[in-house]
Amino acid sequence: MSTSADTQRRMPVMADVARRAGVSHQTVSRVLNDHPNVRSDTRERVLRAIEDLGYRRNFAARALVMRHTRTLGVVSFDTTLFGPASTVYGIEQAARAAGYFVSVVSLKKLTRSSVREAIGYLTDRGVDGIVVVAPQRSAARALADVPIGVPAVAVEGGRAAGGPAVSVDQADGARQAVEHLLDLGHATVWHGHPGGGVLQSPADDGPAGLRRGRPPLPRGPGPPHRTAL
């Protein structure tokens, strides 16, 4: 037989709340899940018992029953930088609005190996989905390592993601930039692009957008010139 002293020495469980409120554990479960078929006075007793005992739900056990954790996993690159940090912040805000929490793994270097390890860490903890902030091809391709059945999407993964991806329309942005410069009277448009193997995949569409800009003016501006920075 348990006593109040026993309860104080361990974390309270649902049965303790039910005993304190004078209801069944099924009624406590209904209150916790905001079920409508609970009398208001009963609900108040259960909530008071929860507060008095300091009861906290066991989300690990609940996840086993419900088969979801209401948690999304995010893999990102160096969240001290403005771009990744603002992207992760936006993901967190959208997730909370949808009733989810977010577990973030921030990597100093985005490689397929490091992203694969981060994805394994998150899936082992039962996240309901994974978002990879993937400005590099290798990170975007790591989405292929996400276990079947776990929804996954790349942010800025472009075509390299090989699956669901959310990216800025670089091609259309470049096209609009060209048209704006031509409207200002410029005869030549130069395109600066970071060189090397760390190119942001969606940015590769930029030159295509430049070429899709307005047809040359009568004075004949040359084709877009691409140079590495």
CATH code for the structural domain at 68-166? 3.40.50.2300
Percent pLDDT > 90 in the chain is 19
| Check whether domain 14-57 has CATH 3.20.20.80, yes or no | no
| Residues in the chain with pLDDT values less than 70 | 1-9, 58-67, 136-140, 148, 157-163, 191-229
134/150 Cα distance (integer angstroms): 18
Task: Output the pTM of the full model.
Answer: 0.58
pLDDT tens digits along 60-115: 555 555 567 889 999 988 777 788 888 899 999 999 999 899 999 988 887 778 88
55/58 Cα distance (integer angstroms): 9
Q: Where are the domains of the chain?
A: 14-57, 68-166, 170-212
151/22 Cα distance (integer angstroms): 42
41/55 Cα distance (integer angstroms): 19
